[in-house]
Structure 1
């Protein structure tokens, strides 16, 4: 088997540990004008950044940012004319911050940069401060924005969107509710597992993936039980970061493709959508990725030498024990809509083509029905 070459991008500087959010100010130095992108909740952490310049906070970022959100953030940036952009939040905030950093002072539009390697290159300095442990967006070169007209996500990928400084401060995640901790933790794990069992899997990325899903197996239940468990919170932030690294050169596969319509159509938070789908795709892919799937199952404490049925049952149980509602019907899905979701998910070749085994539209529909 020939291993394809990969290129790895990581933030130029990374701070990990309790209290490291305070390092942003010293790093920012004499930045005169700073735009902090946040949510109404994470904007409350802005003072902890210790910034000395003129700070503008844009906090109108919803759970699934769309083109309107990005346009509003770009308008705020053009008014502020920042020499530093700080993303302070979860994946949605960090994704918007990347695009603002490269687009606010550019002739390019979102349509111009959609896809891989189309960002022209001039950009404002960028710090990414994660406040959840899920997407790993602070580690990566991708941004996803929902197109409400088409009901899909626009993916932008460019090394110009890598952070100059990324911060993983577990203290910022203490207040994340147990349900969000659980769902985002499974999302971080899914990034690692989908890259690990991927058609484009690479030995180096496998190393990051293993570190990531093992940390989730060790710490996720602890963090759900006790939000202020610093060791568990830091472990999950590292797992999320490793997952973000996996996304760059390898990316996710069918799990994320099948989860996306649940975000765009049902407005399910990204982490929750992935958590509902994760066990089903893990079990489906076992037929061609048996050894790696067994390694994942062992790391999560699901058991050894499991049949496909037992793997599905125990993986669903793992998620349920974290308090995740695993029924799509309970989240508002209608049985009649499942074929629509299946068609959209199957058409996402960007991710589906990475899956270790080809999936038909019928296979995808069967997963939605099983999760219903």
Structure 2
């Protein structure tokens, strides 16, 4: 854990938050002088682009996939090269917003995706970027990172650049009212996982701990309510804020073993990212408890659970908490074959950009044991 005096840098977009703020999208686009706009969205949100009230010529790339891959990105880039937009709007969940970041920096740059993988390799950005989340999970609207799956290797390529920071993030919780209960549960746990992993990371910093712990508290308070009643406006706002706080955690601190262990579930078996994080969450939190006992107890309390750093008690309580949200907490329930677990463990163990942040060393054999425990 870093002491308070450790240098840290935080960057933020211009943020509009609250019910009805979707009206800000068109206003800000006009203020930016946008004339040709490309909206990057999933199929559902592509049908409601009119909510954004955008000026000028508006084209929509409405083919964003869950866990987007390189071919998906290439199709979006091809449309951007064709129309030469002066503004890109990411409209959807983390997948849409991640692709929007890359679409805002790659066309006309002379750089390929593989040339910008890693930290701060993007040369610049000449296209405006507004992010409009419609789920409460990734916090991608507030960050500088984008993830795309390489189908050749089944690995996620991570690009991080301050040039991918949005000019504006417009977070209207009312846009999340249409999210079904199951997706609300999974994305809410994803937001919580961002906060928990940053809070317990080797790179944890008191400045980020503030956001992380409050994000966990918000999920603990509001996620069960939003799952029970999708029209609960206060609960939706609480989750939208938790998601944003989780996004704040990702840039300067980032995630740890929880996300590394969850990634192969998405790349190999196409399990939605939030759901993968949920199934893995109890096991990685418990595994790390001996290294961060006080913070583990704080996480448990923030979720409204009995304070404990006992590994068995942590697994039992957090598994029940997730299951009470309607999440099936066994890998077998999601079609993950036991025979695939060793290969998944090898892939997860290779994700050093995350595992090097973990508060406790974890071997490939220990990752395999986590998969079996979650099996």
TM-score (norm 1): 0.98
CA contact (8 A) 1:328 1:371 kept: yes
Q: Does 1:246 align with 2:241?
A: no
Structure 2 residue 23 is matched with structure 1 residue 26: no
RMSD: 1.0
Shift of 1:306: 5.6
Give 1:5's aligned residue.
7
> Would you say the 8 A contact 2:2–2:203 is kept in 1?
no
Contact (CA 8 Å) 1:103, 1:123: kept in 2 or not? Answer: no
In the other structure, the counterpart of 2:307 is 304
State how 1:113-128 maps to structure 2 within 5 Å.
113-128=116-131
Q: What's the counterpart of residue 234 of structure 2?
A: 231
Q: Is the 1:123–1:160 Cα contact (8 Å) retained in structure 2?
A: no
Counterpart for residue 73 of structure 1: 76
Structure 1 residues 173 and 2, CA gap change in structure 2 (3 angstroms)? closer
Deviations 1:143-182 (A, max 9, x none): 0000000010000000000000101111110010100000
Partner residue, 2:343: 340
Report the Cα distance in structure 2 between the residues aligned to 1:241 and 1:149, rounded to whole angstroms: 32
Q: How does 1:191-230 map to 2 (within 5 A)?
A: 191-230=194-233
Q: Which residue of 2 aligns with 1:143?
A: 146
| Deviation readout 1:281-336 (Å, 9 max, x if unpaired) | 11111101010010110111111246321111010001000000111011111111
| 3-state SS in 2 of match to 1:107 | coil
Deviations 1:78-118 (A, max 9, x none): 11111110000000000000000001121111011110000
CA contact (8 A) 2:296 2:308 kept: no
**Cα distance in 1, alignment partners of residues 50 and 189 from structure 2:** 30
**How many correspondences in the alignment?**
371
Q: Structure 2 unaligned runs (5+)?
A: none
Post-superposition Cα deviations, 1:217-258, rounded to whole Å, max 9, x if no partner, equal 110000001111111001101100100010000000000000
Deviations 1:115-157 (A, max 9, x none): 0000001330000000000010001000000000001000000
**Secondary structure, counterpart of 1:337 in structure 2:** helix
Take 1:2 and 1:202, find their aligned partners in 2: how far apart are those partners?
Answer: 5
Q: Deviation string for 1:337-365 (max 9, x for gaps)? A: 10100011011100001000000111100
Shift of 1:7: 1.1
2:330 match: secondary structure: coil
User: TM-score with structure 2 length normalisation?
Assistant: 0.97
Query: In 2, distance between residues paired with 1:282 and 1:49?
Result: 39
Say whether the 8 Å CA contact 1:23–1:50 is kept in structure 2: no
